[in-house]
């Protein structure tokens, strides 16, 4: 692909604008200035720098974000900042979308991508991808509550009880809950139905992919090939 098209595909602006950046000598490719917009390169893994700012090119964007509390998973947030403001401009401009949503006060693993097929595969109810949540509760967790969450609790607007794939107490006021669905406020509503109340909620894992412990809240990184393989691996 030509260099101007590569820059456009990475979210650095229109093709004309990107061509002007290259022609002005503001773009380095693999450590050397390239001033030819029509120069051809392979996109995946290409190391570029725009006015000294480094960037690794990817044909498709697959991103892991450690979502902090107080952010909405929406392009048009109502009450809180958008989670997309935590991403650099090129990722936002190339149109990455959250793969599912987390409530504004829920923290943890959030995936984003501009690959529509990937997003559909990860959010399809038919795949029943397990998601693990670390729950902090208002009251001490009882064995009866754990058993109720395992066997199924009835929610007002559901025709049948909803059961967790797995549930275990991890402390006096904490439990680990595994779900394969993503209904509206499901974890919070299930815990209430079991006789307790959620005061903090954190998603720690999607499928076989855990949140990178090196990521602080608000930080992001590209998914590796190993990460992508984990998302398709059945445990």
Give the contacts of 81 (CB within 8 A, at least 6 positions apart).
70, 71, 72
Closest by CA to 152, choosing from 139, 160, 163, is 163
Residue 78 CB-density burial (10 A; 0-12 exposed, 13-18 middle, 19+ buried): exposed
Q: Is the pLDDT of residue 235 over 60?
A: no
**Confidence check: pLDDT of 182 > 80:** no
Within the chain, how many helices (H) and strands (E) appear?
7, 13
Distance CA 115, CA 128 (A): 20
pTM: 0.90
Q: Which residues are the active-site residues?
A: 103
The pLDDT, as a whole number, for residue 78 is: 83
- The chain-wide mean pLDDT, for the chain, equals 93
Does 217 score more than 70 pLDDT? Answer: yes
Give the pLDDT band of residue 181 (cuts 50, 70, 90).
confident
CB 180 within 8 A of CB 131: yes
- Averaged pLDDT, 8-26: 94
* Residue range 40-82, pLDDT digits in tens: 999 999 999 999 999 999 999 999 999 999 999 988 878 899 9
User: Does position 233 have pLDDT exceeding 80, yes or no?
Assistant: no
What are 225's two structure tokens?
A: 């090939």
Confidence band for 234, pLDDT divided at 50, 70 and 90: low
**The pLDDT of residue 127:** 85
Task: Map residue 3 onto helix, strand or coil.
Answer: helix
């Amino acid at each position: 692909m030509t260099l101007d098209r590569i820059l456009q595909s990475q979210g650095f602006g229109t093709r004309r604008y990107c061509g002007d950046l290259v022609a002005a000598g503001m773009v380095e490719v693999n450590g050397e200035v390239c001033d030819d917009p029509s120069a051809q390169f392979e996109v995946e893994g290409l190391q570029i720098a725009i006015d000294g700012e480094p960037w690794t090119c990817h044909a498709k964007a697959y991103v892991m974000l450690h979502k902090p509390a107080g952010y909405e998973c929406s392009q048009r947030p109502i009450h809180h900042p958008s989670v997309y403001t935590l991403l650099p401009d090129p990722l936002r401009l190339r149109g990455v979308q959250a793969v599912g949503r987390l409530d504004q006060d829920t923290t943890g693993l959030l995936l984003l991508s501009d690959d529509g097929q990937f997003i559909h595969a990860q959010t399809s109810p038919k795949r029943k991808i397990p998601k693990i949540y670390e729950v902090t509760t208002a009251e001490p967790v009882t064995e009866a509550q754990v058993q109720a969450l395992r066997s199924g609790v009835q929610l007002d607007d559901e025709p049948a009880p909803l059961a967790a794939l797995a549930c275990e107490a991890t402390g006096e006021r904490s439990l680990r809950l595994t779900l394969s669905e993503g209904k509206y406020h499901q974890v919070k509503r299930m815990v209430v139905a079991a006789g307790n109340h959620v005061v903090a909620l954190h998603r720690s894992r999607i499928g076989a992919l855990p949140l990178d412990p090196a990521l602080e809240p608000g930080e992001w990184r590209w998914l590796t090939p190993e990460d992508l393989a984990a998302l398709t691996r059945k445990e």
